[in-house]
Copies of this chain bind each other. A is one copy, B any other.
Amino acid sequence: MLTYLFTDIGSDSLYHHLYQCIKKDILSGELSAGTKLPSKRSFAKNLGVSNITVENAYAQLQAEGYIYSIPKKGFYVREISDLIPSVQNTQADFAESETPHTQYVADFVSNRIHPEQFPFSVWSKLLRETLLNRHEELLESPPWGGILELRRAISNHLKEFRNMEVSAEQIIIGAGTEYLYGLLIQLLGRDKIYAVENPGYHKIAKIYESNGVKRCFIPVDREGMDVGKLEESGSHVAHISPAHHFPTGAVTPIGKRYELLGWATRSSGRYIIEDDYDSEFRLAGKPIPTLQGIDRSERVIYMNTFTKTLASTIRISYMALPCHLLKEFEKRLSFYSCTVSNFEQYALARFVEEGYFEKHINRMRTHYRRVRDELMASIRKSPLASCCKITEEDAGLHFLLHVDTRLSDEELLRRAEQSGIRLSSLAEYYCKPALDIPVHTFVINYSGLSVQKIPKVVKMLIKCILC
């Protein structure tokens, strides 16, 4: 009779050891298809284990399909070995694919917030209280649009600070705007053409590409997207950031806004995605009123995110849909579960509702204004003054540095990289071919810079540009 040793099985259970032994023999062919296994009782007796041990091992083998039972006859080995595909050695020469990023002295490309600026204690308190007091609600599946409390808080915030009339129900919460763009493609249609800004965030165009929909690049001038070119392009959806275009910093003036709305209403099925990603950080004057706020024809989908305002590692964004699109969304896409955990939604709801968000924004504006002012002053007082010009400095979190130099952009970027400064040129944000791509213009995103570092960084810039 079949027998196995039960020595050296370590912490393994008896039944599992037996299961492993039999499985191995089946896979190796030692126990061939059709072989009848010993009856549980006699096998147990033979092995010196309990009936239950054999029973459990057989049950597991049966559940996994290695053996089968014929009632009143016993257990048999199944036909499997010739099904095992021959092993192809395709295990790739797989190296660590994500190298940790370089530590820069200054990173003028990424958005970053320093620990001393994040409201850890408040956030911690709110999360703690949420976890303590809302056990029931935390485990309740949220509505597809997200926790109503958060959506109400956002609706109130939009009313108070952006003068927008958006009901809580119109707001849909998602784990980042990138995710929401994907939902919008499903909502608005894959047969549509999506117009994106040129220059602009490459990521937005990439998302449309990756989702397999047509997108076209429309030039952006100092007033935002060119409406004539937009009309010519045959696009159905315009994805724009009228409050503050990245990277040029262009603010779309009211006249142009009405022109854009005019474009959207001229033909049915046209929409504008208004990406209001950093309007809170306009450093001079009040935030620019939204396109959504002046839209009377339900053509504007408003999007914003807490990822920019709070921390890039908090993945909570939202969009406000016009009512007819909301109905469409409910009909076709509400089967998707909300992608943000309840915990964070409840904590954020209180953060917004109880005024912490506003306080945080104000504190950050003051901080960013100070960084910007000191950086600009430092540049203007330095030898760079003679060859550099700064523009678009009122828009949020970055300005443009125009350099009068004989160095190529590539050379300048290489020098910066070498000395530990991460920099990008305005030209990089253009999709080629494009007309009038500016040279010698660099995008200075100062959100990650600390005031203390400014003298050092300006010295390094001088070295890169003037030496």
Q: How large is the interface on A (under 10, 10 to 19, 20 to 34, 35 or more residues)?
A: 35 or more
A64 / chain B contacts, CB cutoff of 8 Å: 251, 253-254, 288-289
Q: Is the CB of A139 within 8 A of B127?
A: no
A342 / chain B contacts, CB cutoff of 8 Å: 313-314
Q: Is the CB of B169 within 8 A of A139?
A: no
A252 / chain B contacts, CB cutoff of 8 Å: 65
- A118: interface (CB < 8 Å): yes
Q: Which of B59, B65, B145, B335 contacts A253 (CB 8 A)?
A: B65
For the complex, would chain A's binding face be called helix, strand, loop or mixed by DSSP majority?
loop
- Expressed in whole angstroms, the Cα–Cα distance for A296 and B90 within the complex equals 8
A97 / chain B contacts, CB cutoff of 8 Å: 169, 326-327, 330
Q: Which of B16, B80, B87, B118 contacts A254 (CB 8 A)?
A: B80
CB within 8 Å of B: which of A83-104? 83-85, 87-92, 94, 96-98
Oligomer: number of copies: 2
- Expressed in whole angstroms, the Cα–Cα distance for A98 and B331 within the complex equals 11
18 A-B pairs (CB sep. < 8 Å): A59-B284, A65-B254, A87-B296, A88-B265, A90-B298, A96-B169, A97-B326, A97-B327, A98-B144, A120-B131, A127-B128, A139-B313, A140-B313, A175-B339, A176-B339, A179-B179, A186-B210, A211-B211
Footprint of B on A, CB under 8 Å? 16, 19, 56, 59-60, 63-66, 78-80, 83-85, 87-92, 94, 96-98, 110, 112-115, 118, 120, 123-124, 127-128, 131-132, 135-136, 138-145, 148, 167, 169, 175-176, 178-179, 182, 186, 190, 202-203, 206-207, 210-212, 223, 251-259, 261-262, 265, 284-286, 288-289, 296-298, 311-316, 323-324, 326-327, 330, 332-333, 335-344, 394
Q: Is the CB of B394 within 8 A of A63?
A: yes
